[in-house]
Amino acid sequence: MESIIPIGYWIFFIITIVGTFVGLYKLFEKAGYAGWKALVPVYNVWICTKITGKGLKWFILLMIPVLNVVVWLLMANELSKVFGKDGFWAYVGSMLVPYFYFPKLAFDKDVKYIGPHESPKKSTGREWADALAFAVVAATLIRTFFFEAYTIPTTSMESTLKAGDFLFVSKFHYGARFPITPLAFPFAHHTMPVIKTKAYSDAIQLPYMRFPGIEKIHRNSSVVFNFPEGDTVYLPNQQNSYYSLLMNDAEMMRAYDKKNNNTEKPFSYYYNQMRSRYEASGELAYRPVDKRDNYIKRCVGLPGDSLAVVDGILYVNGKKAFVAEHQQKSYDVKFKENVNVTNAGNVLLDLSLNPMDFQDTVMMGKNIVITANMNINNAATLEKNPSVESVSLNHYDRLRYGYIGLFPHNPKGMPNSVDDFSQIWIPKKGATIAITPQNYYNYQRIIEVYEHNTVTKDNRGNVFMDGKPLTQYTFKQNYYWMMGDNRHRSYDSRYWGYVPEDHIVGKPVLVWFSWNKNLPLLKRIGSIRLDRMFNFI
């Protein structure tokens, strides 16, 4: 995965670097050291320990990766102290914005170097405030640039990752993303707990930048990313894509007209009608990239790959794709006549299947049939069970289950299904393709939303970008195709398309805790999955 570093980031980066080193240069001079020593890597760290009186122990700690980030926060505060600034805001300023605070101290004629000294005894309230400020800053830096904890809420990655797994996600494997929305409550994502208000302000939006990672995204890697269609959210129904709601409602309105009024206008008419209703409701929220919901899926397609699903089998570049060891699909389990619903359910639960994956229970004559998601080994085990009459894999073909709500949402074409998905090409940064009326739906959202182009259409449906006919397009960033291991119960790229590079969050690396989230809280303690704890992914 390549880095995208626009000019806006470089301006911000230069301000932070220049501001910090200019401040240190003048502070070194105030402390009696040559200013140029502030510009020499490693040596400047040693001088900082001399100025603050911290010595060799701190110098060693500042040389240890990851730990040095936390120690530097303390060192920044110690620097402000030896120049006579020991208040709460000095504590916050030196840690959060040293590129502004250090120059302020350096060029203030009233600020003098007073050397290491005992700080006045702090009140209990001040000690707690300092500790809280440090904890917030340290936690924010760690979860932004190193690791963050996540919980798996759904079964879309069963049984590779289970609902109720708690993960550590590495931000630095694929390259830590610099915050796009810096003004945010540090311990919430997009919504404040309890009060349910916005946990961020989008008054400042920084350009996208990703620091170099230690590895690229590989095909079949598990990836955490921001939900691409999460830019707009219908607040009363946040768990579903706003765009899926629009398409569902538009399709229902079109079907109603066709059945009751014997008329049927173009799909775009119904879509625009529903969009106007949602916008008039006042219940829509608009979220920047880094404040959209976090999803976790398997990356099955890389930039430049071609991909299709035929008869439930995924093909990448014309070859059968990797199949995860525990990949699940939907099966109909038909039980024998003497088996009741409770016993049938217990047979499935004995295989440790997640009840969230029991989709349907119906009577077929005198037989109970349960539709459930499981892996091929579970299915083979059930076939040998004396209570089971048959186990059959479900196939969702496009003729019966084709759905315009699946990508690319082309109302004029044959809709895809989860098991029969037409071949698509995954855009690669710098690649140029011809744009035709047939393929525009594949790239419409990329061109108009992810890459921020102004697009218009005339009455004939011809597409124009920046006032010129759109006949070809060069992509500005890489894109990925994500699918869940629970193939028949995963809301993934088959529904909403490509994942832009700037939406990538990190790599899941460790399951540190796991329990059955479907049980009441007091009963979950007995459901702790010890065999999954501290397993690397």
| Cβ contact 110:69 at 8 Å | no
Q: Report whether the peptide linkage leading into residue 3 is cis, meaning its omega lies within 30 degrees of zero.
A: no
| Cβ contact 78:49 at 8 Å | no
> What pLDDT, on a 0 to 100 scale, did the predictor assign at position 5?
43
Owning domain of residue 333: 328-394
**Which stretches of the chain score pLDDT less than 50?**
1-6
Q: Which strand (E) or helix (H) includes residue 51?
A: helix 43-52
> What SS3 state is found at 5?
coil
Q: What share of the chain is helix, strand, coil (3-state, %, to 5)?
A: 35, 20, 40
d(CA 298, CA 201): 31
Asked if the structure places residue 491 within a domain, the reply is no
Looking at the structure of the chain, the number of domains it has is 2
The DSSP 8-state label assigned to residue 321 in this structure reads P
> What SS3 state is found at 495?
helix
> What pLDDT, on a 0 to 100 scale, did the predictor assign at position 72?
85
Q: Which residue has the tokens 């990508």?
A: 407
Task: Spell out the residues 6+ positions from residue 407 whose beta carbon is closer than 8 angstroms to its own.
Answer: 416, 424, 493, 494, 495, 496, 497
Q: Which residue has the tokens 């402390």?
A: 31
* CATH number of the structural domain spanning residue 389: 3.30.70.260
Asked if the structure places residue 90 within a domain, the reply is yes
Helix then strand count (H, E) for the chain reads: 15, 23
Task: Spell out the residues 6+ positions from residue 340 whose beta carbon is closer than 8 angstroms to its own.
Answer: 368
Final residue belonging to a domain, choices 119, 144, 169: 144
**CB hemisphere CA count around 80 (13 angstroms):** 25
Asked if the structure places residue 155 within a domain, the reply is no
Please, what's the largest Cα pairwise distance for the chain? Answer: 93
Structure tokens at 112: 């003098």
Asked if the structure places residue 96 within a domain, the reply is yes
Asked if the structure places residue 454 within a domain, the reply is no
| Backbone φ, ψ for residue 499 (5° rounding) | -105, 115
Asked if the structure places residue 305 within a domain, the reply is no
Asked if the structure places residue 136 within a domain, the reply is yes
Asked if the structure places residue 190 within a domain, the reply is no
Final residue belonging to a domain, choices 94, 124, 144: 144
Neighbours of 299 (CB within 10 A): 20
Structure tokens at 358: 């029991």
> What pLDDT, on a 0 to 100 scale, did the predictor assign at position 1?
47
| Backbone φ, ψ for residue 337 (5° rounding) | -60, -30
pTM exceeds cut of 0.75: yes
Final residue belonging to a domain, choices 109, 125, 144: 144
Report how far apart the first and last C-alpha atoms of the chain are (Å, whole number): 20
| Cβ contact 226:289 at 8 Å | yes
Task: Spell out the residues 6+ positions from residue 202 whose beta carbon is closer than 8 angstroms to its own.
Answer: 181, 183, 288, 291
